[in-house]
Amino acid sequence: MYQGSCLCGAVVLEVTAGIRSIIHCHCSKCRKSSGTAYATNGFVAKSALVIKQGQELIQYYEMTPGKKRHFCKVCASPIFSSNESSPELLRLRLGILDTDIAERPMSHNFVSSSANWDDLDARLPRYDGHEPGRVPGT
């Protein structure tokens, strides 16, 4: 079982089953929705996603008929997507999870749409916190 919450903590959820088909999606819609180079998504059974708190705070944006992106209306954290063509599945935004998961991503998708500044194989320095010399608060 996995635990998750939105940025402000108003929406709290549990995932009671495994996460399938995890991908890093580089399509322009996922980039715009997440504000990042890509979104990491995995499928969960609709019955396995339990909203423990804040159900009334979950809003959605319907991108195209039948395809909805659900988010917290307080902090705008993306939570999951739903698609009427597969009503039994939800596409969970894995950044919403607070607990470690056992499953791992299987691929980078729509790489031809990736941001021109994103380098999948970057050998950039890695830090446990902010980069050295960064002014606090910036």
Write the pLDDT tens digit of every residue in 58-117.
999 999 999 999 999 999 999 999 999 999 999 999 999 999 999 999 999 999 999 999
9-59 tens-digit pLDDT: 999 999 999 999 999 999 999 999 999 999 999 999 999 999 999 999 999
Domains in the chain, ordered, with CATH? 2-113 (2.170.150.70)
pLDDT (0 to 100) of residue 120: 78
Radius of gyration over every alpha carbon of the chain, rounded to an integer in angstroms: 16
Q: What is the pTM for the complete model shown?
A: 0.88
Edge to edge, the sheet with strand 49-53 lists 2-5, 12-15, 49-53
Cα distance between residue 19 and residue 72, in whole Å: 21
Q: Are 102 and 88 in contact (CB under 8 A)?
A: no
User: What was the pLDDT predicted at 129?
Assistant: 78
